[in-house]
């Protein structure tokens, strides 16, 4: 489950390398802009406290849906064209080489349209501008947390706390045991447990396609 041989590095060293990639900078820019605008807007209400709680509770399920339906998208022919989005292609590369750190991050090409779309949602889809800014701030913070957690799991930093070790193990089972289970990244045993994708690892067969998503599978593989 550990993949290739790992060396122990400190958290400071890993964090320095994290900021060499574009995704954390793009998300941090959105976070600071949204938070600054939210503070200036004022008009704090109870809904500004409830919104982050709802988003935190929903985020593991959002991760699960995106992972299953978008990242594990199987290329399809529709109207004579092959539909194979960039996110799905990059994720297949990520499974093929989980130690390739640039492949860990959300592609910057995707963020160039995703972050403006999220901003438009925050500014236009809520009954109050202030609530939309709260939503946007929390969304950017969750995105940055996702990127950091995913990066940390695939880095050479070794788990030292029990909660992080559980998250680390959950995601590495997905990459090195069986790609059909353990879809959450920032939590363990949450959405996977509710949605039936958190089995006992000892009862799951190792998948022959864990490093080659959608390749022809051998008979008898547990799903």
Give DSSP secondary structure letters for 41-66: H----HHHHHHHHHHHHHHHHHHHHH
User: What is the per-residue pLDDT across 147-170, written as a single tens digit (0 to 9) for each?
Assistant: 999 999 999 998 889 999 999 999
Q: Which residue has the tokens 């008898």?
A: 220
The contacts found for 68-75 with CB under 8 angstroms, 24 or more apart, are 68/183, 72/179, 72/213, 74/214, 75/214
Q: Are strands 81-83 and 76-78 parallel, antiparallel or unpaired?
A: antiparallel
**pLDDT more than 90, % of the chain:** 85
pLDDT class of 220 with cuts at 50, 70, 90: very low
Specify the pLDDT at position 174: 97
Give me the count of residues in the chain.
223
Q: What is the torsional sign of CA 167, 172, 178, 179?
A: positive
pTM of the model: 0.91
Which residues contact residue 146 at a Cβ distance below 8 angstroms, ignoring those fewer than 6 apart? 63, 185, 186
Distances (CA, A) of 195 to 64, 143, 166, 190, 200: 9, 22, 18, 9, 14
Alpha carbon distance 174, 4 (integer Å): 15
E strand or H helix at 32, and its extent? Answer: helix 22-41
């Amino acid at each position: 489950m550990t993949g290739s041989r790992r060396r122990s590095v400190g958290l400071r060293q890993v964090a320095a390398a994290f900021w060499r990639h574009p995704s954390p900078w793009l998300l941090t820019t959105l976070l600071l802009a949204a938070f600054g605008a939210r503070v200036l807007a004022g008009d704090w209400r109870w809904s500004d406290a409830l919104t982050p709680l709802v988003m935190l509770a929903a985020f593991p399920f959002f991760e699960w849906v995106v992972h299953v339906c978008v990242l594990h998208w199987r290329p399809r022919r529709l109207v004579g064209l092959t539909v194979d989005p960039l996110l799905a292609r990059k994720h297949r590369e990520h499974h093929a080489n989980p130690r390739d750190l640039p492949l860990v991050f959300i592609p910057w090409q995707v963020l160039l349209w995703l972050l403006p779309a999220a901003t438009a949602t925050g500014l236009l889809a809520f009954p109050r501008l202030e609530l939309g800014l709260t939503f946007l701030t929390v969304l950017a913070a969750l995105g940055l947390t996702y990127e950091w957690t995913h990066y940390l799991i695939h880095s050479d930093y070794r788990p030292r706390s029990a909660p992080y070790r559980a998250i680390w193990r959950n995601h590495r089972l997905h990459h090195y045991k069986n790609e059909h289970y353990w879809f959450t990244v920032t939590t363990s045993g949450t959405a996977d447990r509710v949605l039936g994708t958190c089995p006992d690892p000892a009862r799951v067969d190792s998948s022959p396609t864990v490093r080659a998503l959608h390749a022809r599978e051998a008979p008898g593989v547990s799903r």
